[in-house]
Structure 1
């Protein structure tokens, strides 16, 4: 009778296996698991003996998974994630005693508006927490899948396996221009914007290959001019401060910090244009006390900033 691997195997070895299959590097796997590289090698050898497969072979860039290892990682991931969710569900969470690091990837269009506010908020509610803010990139979804990011904040992204999405807030669109811009009303239509070039902020994974304002204008039969595109919000601010370009943004933009700029509400079909931002995190953290708390804190900061 074949040996029952479920009862004979140390399940912690499978956790090591999953991390190693994600990193394909024993040093990086050791860092994520807070163990030594020899400990990773020992765990791998035990797994090889029990599963009768080499699992990983050396490659120029590190390790390469065997076909068996790739299939095993794919098959066991949902079960280990479910076990993690069950074990962590309902655990008490005290932000005042929380001493771990939280790494948040934030879209460029949001980072320039929230970075200082997030830090100030977290320093009050979780004073021992280390907050690490990084820019949202096209690779951020993969980093969330690999548990290299705690949570991401961005505009709408394409669905990715093992990544859960929460709506954080619905924002009202704003057109940001210099104070002396020819547009003087509190609202503006696409027709009124047509003569002026667009200075657009790129959000990786959202509008890499298009400018949303231009798409909306084209739907109304207009011919927009895209004058400048970048991932750096401050570069766009510098452009609109010295030209008649306009920057499509939202009520999250901290207009009060820029006396040389003004915000105008764009109308689409006669009503203010709206867009949404979302939280992205690994599905295994769904309903955990820490993640529920994190989402709530980010929502509070967004609400506070949009009121301003």
Structure 2
């Protein structure tokens, strides 16, 4: 058998493969034509194309019909496997079974989601999908989206400071709204009176950022009044920040859920910031190539469930 090159591959279509398989079964060109709803010349033409491609007669004419050559017998299971795979692509994905699925889920998120959402998600997955492993990475904003593009993560979770709908490469789902609060140790004097923007600006702030100083909605609100935060300490992670503020005069701006969930553990208090329209949205983002992936669709359902439960608890506590 001669080598098959890329030009030869372009000449192969499903019709000639099906004709080949049907000829192996029927051993009669007229029977193949009748079974497939083709004309006999069409069947003969398909067989001719196959003979030219493989450089082999494939079927020898005998008194009783067509006799497959040794190569035809060798090709039959391979061609049957190709046709079966093609058929499976048309049938769509199999129904996803979380109980038997075994895979890794890679999630990129900022520290707030890593400590607020991921622990509960992992707990939920362990109950119903013990063989699905979660790998979380400290990624946010454009770094997270770039990791999605490169296939390094399956899902990006968090706040994105630019319109997600401006890029058709991503499928985004709005999970919940959030707003910032000011947090500090429980007996911090800043909580003895009503908060004003001037009070917030004068306070000694700690900033949580793995990449150094940056700006958020609080900074924007202060800037509109000609004010800015007095940032004196920068740490890369939430728990480091909470450990510091519960034993110092520093304060920190946190999403309200994060502050509420950690108030008892770290002996901190928090108050709403005097900012109008200071809410922001938390999104779950996937690459568009995974928009119909059954695993990812199921993961989003679990995320929605986790967020809904957390929202119910937060509403009750408020």
- Compute the TM-score of the two structures, normalised by the length of structure 1: 0.63
- Asked if structure 2 preserves the Cα contact closer than 8 Å seen for 1:177 and 1:240, the reply is yes
Structure 2 gap segments, 5+ residues each: 1-5, 14-88
Q: Secondary structure at the match of 2:257?
A: coil
Q: Which residue of 2 is the match for residue 292 of structure 1?
A: 297
Asked if 1:193 corresponds to 2:200, the answer is: yes
If you compute each CA radius of gyration, which structure gives the higher value, 1 or 2?
2
- Asked if structure 1 preserves the Cα contact closer than 8 Å seen for 2:173 and 2:284, the reply is yes
Deviations 1:8-31 (A, max 9, x none): 59xxxxxxxxxxxxxxxxxxxxxx
- Compute the TM-score of the two structures, normalised by the length of structure 2: 0.62
Distance of 1:294 and 1:167 partners within structure 2: 14
Q: Which residue of 1 is the match for residue 70 of structure 2?
A: none
Distance of 1:146 and 1:6 partners within structure 2: 30
Deviation, structure 1 residue 123: 0.7
Q: 1:218 to 1:157 in 2, by over 3 A?
A: closer
Distance of 1:295 and 1:119 partners within structure 2: 13
Structure 1 gap segments, 5+ residues each: 10-85
Q: Which residue of 2 is the match for residue 222 of structure 1?
A: 227
Deviates more, 1:187-196 or 1:228-237: 187-196
Distance of 2:193 and 2:98 partners within structure 1: 42
Asked if 1:112 corresponds to 2:119, the answer is: no
Q: Which residue of 2 is the match for residue 238 of structure 1?
A: 243
Q: Which residue of 2 is the match for residue 154 of structure 1?
A: 158
Q: Which residue of 1 is the match for residue 265 of structure 2?
A: 258
Deviations 1:97-125 (A, max 9, x none): 22111111121122122332222111113
Q: Which residue of 2 is the match for residue 247 of structure 1?
A: 252
Q: Which residue of 1 is the match for residue 42 of structure 2?
A: none
- Asked if structure 1 preserves the Cα contact closer than 8 Å seen for 2:290 and 2:296, the reply is yes
Deviations 1:130-173 (A, max 9, x none): 12122115643222112221111121154556232221211132
Distance of 1:234 and 1:259 partners within structure 2: 9
Asked if 1:268 corresponds to 2:269, the answer is: no
Over the aligned positions, Cα root-mean-square deviation in angstroms equals 3.2
Deviations 1:63-113 (A, max 9, x none): xxxxxxxxxxxxxxxxxxxxxxx9696742222222111111121122122
Q: 1:88 to 1:276 in 2, by over 3 A?
A: farther
Q: Which residue of 2 is the match for residue 164 of structure 1?
A: 171
Deviations 1:6-55 (A, max 9, x none): 5559xxxxxxxxxxxxxxxxxxxxxxxxxxxxxxxxxxxxxxxxxxxxxx
Q: 1:187 to 1:170 in 2, by over 3 A?
A: farther
- Asked if structure 2 preserves the Cα contact closer than 8 Å seen for 1:197 and 1:226, the reply is yes
Q: 1:192 to 1:300 in 2, by over 3 A?
A: farther
The number of equivalent residue pairs is 228
Deviation, structure 1 residue 186: 9.5
Q: Which residue of 2 is the match for residue 93 of structure 1?
A: 96
Deviation, structure 1 residue 181: 0.9
- Asked if structure 2 preserves the Cα contact closer than 8 Å seen for 1:176 and 1:261, the reply is yes
Q: Which residue of 1 is the match for residue 64 of structure 2?
A: none
Of the two structures, which has the highest relative contact order with CA contacts closer than 8 Å and spacing of 6 or more? Answer: 1
Q: Secondary structure at the match of 2:121?
A: helix
Distance of 1:8 and 1:175 partners within structure 2: 67
